[in-house]
Structure 1
Amino acid sequence: MDNRLPNLYSLLAKQTSSFQISELAARFQVSTRTIYNDIDKLNELLKTVDATEIMIEKGHILYVNETPVDIEKILFKDSDFINSDKRVRKIRILESVLLLPDNFSSEDLLQRTLVSKNTLLNDLRSVRKELVKNEIVLETIPFKGYKVIGEEAKIRNLLVATLEQDPLLFESTGFEKEKASLAEIDRLIEEVNEMIGIQLSDQSFQKVKLHFWVTMKRLEVQKSIQLLEEKDIYNKEEQILLTRKEQVSKLFSLAISEEELLYLANKLSEASITKNQELMTDKWLTFNLIIEQFITAVDQDFSEIDFTIDQKLYEGLLNHLRPAYKRTLAKETIENPMYDYVLDNYYLLHSSICKHILLIEKELKVEFSDQEISFFTLFFAASLERKKFFVPKKTKIVIICNAGISTSEILKSKIKNTFQVEVVGTFGAREGIKWLSDHKVDLVVTTIPLELKSVPVVQVNPYLSDEDRESIHRFVKPIFHEVNVDHLLAIVKKYTDLNIQEAKSLSNELTTYLNLSQSREKKEYQPMLKEILTPELIDLNYSAKNRDEAVKRSGELLVNKGLATSAYIDGMIENVEVNGTYIVIAPGIAMPHARPEEGALDVGFSIVTLKEPVVFGHPKNDPVKIVIGLCAIDHQTHLKALAELVEILSSEENIECFINAKDKKEIMDIVEGGK
């Protein structure tokens, strides 16, 4: 058994101050993700003896337990741990059922779960119901035993979901050796992620790791996945894992098929990410356009808020949509730990998201679960939080003094000169007590003995000694008051009617006046296609020997127009090298581009029609006859023009006009006419 768990618990139980997760990771020479997992395991153990659980808040741990638990002793008592908790028993039985080969017996289950036969048979009834809920059947075969029947993908999904509820499985007897396999899987996923250019959230990383382990264990009992859909092109995850076939086979100690590698690659693409490079997919164009429509639709429900100017919101939703779409296609369940928080604190916002998510569902032909939709709401909630700011709020003080006006004024001046406070009034005792019954303050400073239940009281001498100043100082601390532009607009609307445009204009003015302009992104104007596509950006019947020449020409037009630097052309060619198949967006049409930071200066499109079609490497959409060079300075400014261009090219008649055009004016007429 690894000694890290008891050692970690011992360290936390003896602490007198909080630990940072990163500090513990460094001390035990593991990742922060491992420390989070260890805390989950310790809490499972602490539950069994009704001990105080370890709490984590913003990456800090503060654990207080006057009588520390002997964690090591509990770890060695597998049977006690399982028998003490019906939920754990059911989980362990369900795991065993899904990990055993066909025709396993009750004895096999008893050996793995360490429960009595009566307990096992009773718990199996509950397990069967859970299996049926997931469209899986536990069939009893006379004289042979039990057999699990169902789609392999659903069996694996359920097994992973069950393992996620059992962080202590790999600490139990018989599973310690699996830690070495998990460590190897961990390293493999890290390597693959680095090659792809992504960083998974801790929760997603753990889930992907479990999918790899479950795949290995199911293959050991000769249960393989069947991918019915044939793929024409592979995404980045698939490409990289296919090159790791030998490494994965060695890790699993058995030959792994291409279908299994593609399955694992899909699990990677379903994972939520915290950092990524541009991940091209066959739906990258659709994702970009539909997210813009989605944000605009939600924005219409909130007249006093402008979601469309938040670049981080757009980028966050774009990064989230791909794995959310993949998870939904795979019927992969996901739970949002903040689901109840979303419903309690952002009910109106969430209702709007639920209404407008239909835009995305209709376009992508999927139906997101309530839990999945709540993640979309959190991105909008984060946008709302970015609109907030805090200003110092002075401590409100009342002075009660029976010595007369002059003494009160002297004391008032001394206090104001010493502290950042607002003295809201000076009173005699009787008048002050009466005033306080109808008003609220933070502190009462008095020169006479006075007891009040509703507010703190500090008695001082009229000349305000050093000791008096120290007494007041204990109560006068910086208080920060949240100011929200939307709240200010709500106050204004009490006294005047504002239409949507007036509300947005006032919001922008208040934002600037309150010095929020530096922390908020300004929405850039989105030009129409006819505003940015000119004859100089069109080249007809260009002779290109190969793909790179065709891409280079589309880039040269952008550079010659001053829309990009020459480095942008190199970025376009490199992007085609990596994502060539996805650059071909429709039969005969390619749209090469590079990242904005690679030399984009302004928004623009170039159009190159080819004298002879060129092969780009797409299995269905080759050869390419039209090359559209895209230059974007951010994720959003070009989207209106892009949407118009996509609409124009959705017509076969327009495509033929482009290909057969003898004069640039023929293409400009289509663009300017909006056909």
Structure 2
Amino acid sequence: MKDRTIQILKRFIWSDYPVTLDELSEDFRISHRTIRNEIKEINEFLANQKLPEIKTIRKRGMFLALQLKERTKLEPLIDEKNEFDYLNREERIFDLILAFSLSEQPIFLYQKESEYQISKSTMDEDMRRVRTILLRYGIEVLSMPKQGIVLKGSERTIRTMIYDVINQAIDNLQFIDESEMGLTTLEKQLFRYMPKNILKKIDQVYHQSISPREDIYRNHSVMFTAVWLSRYFRQELIVTSSWEIADSVQNKIRSFIDQLCRTLAVRPPTAEINYIVFMLETIQTGSMSTSVEWVQAQLLSIQLIQSVEQATKIPFSKKEESLHEGLYRHMAGLINRVKSEIQLLNPLKENIKRYYASIYLAIKKFAPTIEAITKNELSDDEIAFLTIHFSTSVSAINQELKYTYKAVVICNHGIATGKLLAENLKELFNIEVVAVLSSGEMELISKLDVDLIFSTVNLTYQELPILVLDPIIKEESRQNIQEFLERNKQVQRLINNGKDSTDLFYEVLDLIKTSGGIVSSEIYQSLEEAFDKNNLKINKKELQPMLRDVLKQSDILLLEKCPDWECAIQSVARPLLKDKSIEESYVKAMIASVKEFGPYIVIGKHLALAHARPDDGVNKLGISVATMAEPVVFGNEENDPVSIIFCLAAVDSFSHLNIMKSLIELINDETKINRLAQCTTVTEFETILYEESMKETQK
């Protein structure tokens, strides 16, 4: 057995109580799935030795019941053996798939029978399972004379299958370490077909070309590149590629591939280069080469933040800028990956589910919105990656915020005893006791702003949760109080401890302007960083301009006569061209993007958002809007014809967030869109457009 497997077995041998999956996973730093596989292997070994197997005890964990004589028999066996003599079925299936896919020599089943030292019937069952696995990818397994076993299917699909099978089998591949110590059998099998020195060379070039940082995307990128190279070395080629545009993309990924080819002295054809560049862009976050990806990632990120905040009650808007920046870059890569049926394996998935369950479930609930764009189901691993972005923000938010419970104490032992209980609750559990009452004063509770009741006497009160406890909080009572608070976590109140320095931020910006300076995006971000560094808290939600702050009356065009969508884009862009928010190149980029990718800018019923990337010719933040005298057809069957079109000029990824939110609200309000489309004056248009924000202001 492997060293780790032996250590897990020893843990069971000397444990006098059941051991849970969570405990084993945490101690050995491996996933639940791997633990189950290890236990399956251990049980096979124990059965062969005619010893009791590890059993699951419901709701308690797993336990190995051994008599003293059985322990005595087992100890020398596990001290002697470091490897099983034979591969188990899971290891054989993994080896077969890799051999069929990556071996440079023909593979014949009779040779594998001899290598594994198994019977023909066992090999037949192994092959049945291999065929079942590969059939999920649409790949057939054929036996050909002189050629051995051959895979029949799309070359792109075969490469995706290899990558997926490796990820599913190996939790966290370590290919940089020189030592063979601690390698699992599956890892050793992989290095048999994919030499470790090739993986190390790929990683070294990645380090030089893309990023020196160790991260999970790096391992995935290196592994997928290794799969690509292995198939290329076998001369299993992609003859044509639909991603020819990749040939002209000069970015870090293209530089990485070019340098790798020089290092290995290989010259793959153009179609192969285009293929691998595109596939790595789907793995890397922030690889947004089109305005389609840009707007989809922007809209989905804003909607996801709103949805998760609403579901969890965690105020993510307080860290919205930094959260949105990382999230929308990740979202762009995710959209491409899922569309291409490539989803990353997340070795931290189980821990994320466990420790950030509320966020994970909120994102899972939002997943269908993403899937409507990707046309493929989002895996739990990808949901866990999204959860990481939110959990990082939670840590930052919790440094500034604290939570409290508002409660009332009911005590019939006198006011002094009641106050003592109140002070103990405040000191030990951060509970704000609003009042101390007697049981005869319970009618006052309905007039108090409280959520919980702590009582020293047995009583009933239907409206609020009650915990009965002794006036003096003893050690054994603390656990009961903690469990009571946990059960009623939904009523906890949020307290912001940070002093708001938003006004000071504005004053500094005004000083820069009055002294003749220009507040560029670089200065804006540098100032934010300076405030953060000095613990000066600013409400970044307030700093981002609202739609009404940017949309001037001169930016509103009513009842424009446009025969087609191209004319509509040109019309709505006129005000932004006039005030030099954009260049003519931006208008051309918007039109070219629709011609290339279709009517993706139609984001809601009768509503379009014309845009391109910030680097296509944007000088400053701006937005304009035009209503159509006659609705225009863009080619979007679900949302045509378009009666209102906005034109957004964004300079970065965050300063227009509030504008985007306003547009998202419009998407969900078809009645309001119809009212706006019928307006004949700019004043009327503004009144209807801003009516909700006006109500908020009046409140």
Q: State the TM-score, normalized to the length of structure 2.
A: 0.50
**2:551–2:622 Cα contact (<8 Å) kept:** no
**1:78–1:172 Cα contact (<8 Å) kept:** no
Kindly provide the amino acid, as one letter, of the partner of residue 198 in structure 2: S
Q: How does 1:658-673 map to 2 (within 5 A)?
A: none
| Structure 1 position 264 matched with structure 2 position 264 | no
Query: Which position in structure 1 is the counterpart of 2:41?
Result: 48
Query: Which position in structure 1 is the counterpart of 2:334?
Result: 324
The DSSP-based 3-state class of the residue aligned with 1:521 is helix
**1:157–1:332 Cα contact (<8 Å) kept:** yes
Write the distance in 2 (CA, Å) between the matches of 1:321 and 1:206.
19
Kindly provide the amino acid, as one letter, of the partner of residue 215 in structure 1: W
| Structure 1 position 288 matched with structure 2 position 300 | no
Query: Which position in structure 2 is the counterpart of 1:354?
Result: 368
**CA apart distance, 1:354:** 2.3
2:376 to 363, 368, 385: 368
| Structure 1 position 92 matched with structure 2 position 109 | no
The DSSP-based 3-state class of the residue aligned with 2:657 is coil
| Structure 1 position 249 matched with structure 2 position 261 | yes
Q: How does 1:574-589 map to 2 (within 5 A)?
A: none
Query: Which position in structure 2 is the counterpart of 1:525?
Result: 546
**1:296–1:308 Cα contact (<8 Å) kept:** no
Write the distance in 2 (CA, Å) between the matches of 1:6 and 1:250.
44
**CA apart distance, 1:4:** 11
**CA apart distance, 1:211:** 1.2
Write the distance in 1 (CA, Å) between the matches of 2:257 and 2:309.
51
**CA apart distance, 1:71:** 13
**CA apart distance, 1:125:** 1.4
Kindly provide the amino acid, as one letter, of the partner of residue 273 in structure 2: L
Query: Which position in structure 2 is the counterpart of 1:210?
Result: 223
CA gap of 1:220–1:242, structure 2 versus 1, over 3 A, is same
CA gap of 1:631–1:142, structure 2 versus 1, over 3 A, is closer
Write the distance in 1 (CA, Å) between the matches of 2:478 and 2:136.
62
Kindly provide the amino acid, as one letter, of the partner of residue 354 in structure 1: P
Deviations 1:59-86 (A, max 9, x none): xxxxx99999999979952544x32xx3
CA gap of 1:396–1:93, structure 2 versus 1, over 3 A, is farther
Write the distance in 1 (CA, Å) between the matches of 2:406 and 2:40.
45
Write the distance in 2 (CA, Å) between the matches of 1:413 and 1:486.
22
Write the distance in 1 (CA, Å) between the matches of 2:554 and 2:326.
28
Deviations 1:141-194 (A, max 9, x none): 245522222211111111111111222356436837833332332232233323
Write the distance in 2 (CA, Å) between the matches of 1:638 and 1:601.
14
The DSSP-based 3-state class of the residue aligned with 1:229 is coil
- The gaps in structure 1 that reach 5 residues or longer are 15-34, 53-63, 402-407, 447-456, 459-469, 488-516, 535-553, 564-568, 606-627, 644-671
Query: Which position in structure 2 is the counterpart of 1:223?
Result: 236
CA gap of 1:308–1:519, structure 2 versus 1, over 3 A, is closer
**1:218–1:224 Cα contact (<8 Å) kept:** yes
Deviations 1:227-252 (A, max 9, x none): 4326246575x644544556423655
| Structure 1 position 636 matched with structure 2 position 665 | no
**2:301–2:331 Cα contact (<8 Å) kept:** no
Write the distance in 1 (CA, Å) between the matches of 2:10 and 2:204.
28
**CA apart distance, 1:297:** 11
| Structure 1 position 158 matched with structure 2 position 161 | yes
2:201 to 176, 184, 196: 184
Write the distance in 1 (CA, Å) between the matches of 2:155 and 2:361.
38
Write the distance in 1 (CA, Å) between the matches of 2:243 and 2:75.
55
Write the distance in 1 (CA, Å) between the matches of 2:32 and 2:300.
42
**CA apart distance, 1:128:** 1.5
Write the distance in 2 (CA, Å) between the matches of 1:308 and 1:413.
38
Kindly provide the amino acid, as one letter, of the partner of residue 521 in structure 1: K
**1:140–1:146 Cα contact (<8 Å) kept:** yes
The DSSP-based 3-state class of the residue aligned with 1:260 is helix
Write the distance in 1 (CA, Å) between the matches of 2:366 and 2:90.
37
Query: Which position in structure 2 is the counterpart of 1:648?
Result: none
| Structure 1 position 443 matched with structure 2 position 469 | yes
CA gap of 1:220–1:170, structure 2 versus 1, over 3 A, is farther
Write the distance in 1 (CA, Å) between the matches of 2:461 and 2:308.
42
Write the distance in 1 (CA, Å) between the matches of 2:662 and 2:460.
63
Identical pairs, percent: 13
- The gaps in structure 2 that reach 5 residues or longer are 15-27, 44-52, 55-62, 66-70, 171-183, 440-454, 495-536, 557-574, 597-609, 625-647, 665-685, 687-699
1:126 to 121, 126, 129: 129
1:77 to 77, 83, 89: 83
Kindly provide the amino acid, as one letter, of the partner of residue 274 in structure 2: L
Q: State the TM-score, normalized to the length of structure 1.
A: 0.51
| Structure 1 position 172 matched with structure 2 position 194 | no
Query: Which position in structure 1 is the counterpart of 2:562?
Result: none
Deviations 1:414-462 (A, max 9, x none): 55566637596779xxx9665489984363147xxxxxxxxxx74xxxx
**2:143–2:149 Cα contact (<8 Å) kept:** yes
CA gap of 1:329–1:556, structure 2 versus 1, over 3 A, is closer
**2:106–2:148 Cα contact (<8 Å) kept:** yes
CA gap of 1:186–1:312, structure 2 versus 1, over 3 A, is same
Deviations 1:88-134 (A, max 9, x none): 43233222222234742114434665644432222101211222221
The DSSP-based 3-state class of the residue aligned with 1:95 is helix
Query: Which position in structure 2 is the counterpart of 1:502?
Result: none
Deviations 1:501-534 (A, max 9, x none): xxxxxxxxxxxxxxxx967734641247554769
The DSSP-based 3-state class of the residue aligned with 2:467 is coil
Q: How does 1:590-601 map to 2 (within 5 A)?
A: 593=614
